Amino acid sequence: MRRLSIASIATVLALALQPVPAAPQGAGGVPRMQVVSCVPHSFPQRTQRSFAVDPTDDRTLYIGVEQEGFFKSVDGGATWVRASDGLRAWARNDASGLPCFEEFYETVINAKNPAQLCIARAGGPGLLSSPTSAGTNGVYCSNDGAATWTQRVGPATNTAAVTLAVDPTDFDTMYVGVNGGPCSNPPPACATGTYFNTRGSIYKSTDGGATWTELDALYIPDLRVVALRIDEANPNVLIAATFAKLPTGGPGNFGEAPQRGVLRSTDGARTWSASLVGMSADPREQALLELAIAPRNALRVFATASSNAAYWSADGGITLTRTARISVATFDPHDATGLHLLGINDDSVQESRDGGRTWQQKARLPAAYTRELGLPTHMVWSRTDARHVFLAGPRATVFESRDAGATWRQILSADRLPR
């Protein structure tokens, strides 16, 4: 699947590999892994949902870039520095001397202490001890504003970390959603049909990632939890977008897989319910890729499916109503009603004033984003300025708007990444 390729890494990385000694170091103290060609999954320099803005200071920005590493700006994107010390990676088979990083899926920042942040990294499913790229992935956290990172993965935790949610009252309590599909590496790296999840594709930690528990979250084989969101006013409420994709039949084989739709917990992840209410009967339109909840009214939810469907909800994702296809949406954090959203489709920035029921064009997408070059994968709204919004996508492409999405200015591209 072109938009969300999490089932496997590039072909050269899928070969059976030998365990890597811990001693050799790469650039910046990064443990060096097997030497490989640094081949992207699909579009180069993908960023997924890794772009993040300090909730107290719009000048401090972060982004993870597939192949390249993690980067930080403290001047609103005018300059960027590499912030990858401690992030495990592969070694490139060229003369650059640079490590080759797998995907950065999501970044979360502690609003009470913005120097604390964590990221979810994912390639193929596996364990920390796997003799494959899985050992470089999982959750990483920093306590010093991304100056250094520590991998926080339990020995039995599936490291294919796709989405991360943190309790806003306690940053040590975090949840990670993973790719619950089979190991994508052939024997001898993995026995055929090896799965790492049995209870649920969600893990919980209450000690900042030192230990993890696989939650009983209605697991079915091949279930991915791709977006996990928490109610900022009531951290006991969690909502997740899921899809199941059979390991055979091509990259987008959703149609023959049973789906869970929206997962929901109201008791701090002890119990979960699943809902497909209001969705199409077609499993491809029940397979969700994105989910957003309104920061100030968590009953308002917007979700995007793998086909041409998108849904809005006014009851926290229990029931959904189909609407126009919006591939990425974000709620206005300054709007207490939860009715104001911005989103994107194939060629424009869209705006909704009624919770996602209807959409109107706000602006054309910047020319750097097209189906051929790659569309934005993340939109972030400033928590300090209601008119400041960011777009991020592949090729390390980041734009900002200072007028709530009407006009856009580029602040990062792949050729501006520091080496």
Model confidence pLDDT, tens digit, residues 370-392: 999 999 999 999 999 999 999 99
Query: What is the pLDDT at residue 373?
Result: 94
Cis ω on the peptide bond leading into residue 188 (within 30° of 0)? Answer: yes
pLDDT at 251: 62
Residue 90: give the domain boundaries: 1-188+201-211
Point out the residues of the chain with pLDDT beneath 70. 1-34, 36, 249-252
**Is 110 within 8 Å of 119 (Cβ atoms)?**
no
What is the average pLDDT score of the chain?
Answer: 89
Nearest Cα to Cα of residue 384 among 328, 308, 333, 338: 333
Per the structure, how many domains does the chain have?
Answer: 1
Neighbour-count burial of 19, counting CB atoms closer than 10 A to its CB (0-12 exposed, 13-18 middle, 19+ buried): exposed
Answer whether residue 282 is part of any domain. no
Q: What is the pTM of this model?
A: 0.90
Residue 138 vs residues 87, 133, 157, 394: alpha-carbon distances, Å: 10, 11, 8, 21
Residue 241 included in any domain: no
Side chain identity, residue 150: T
How much is the pLDDT for 249? 62
The pLDDT of residue 160 is 96
pLDDT at 32: 40
Residue 103 lies in a domain: yes
Q: Which tokens belong to 29?
A: 């103290």
Quick check: is 34 in a domain?
A: yes
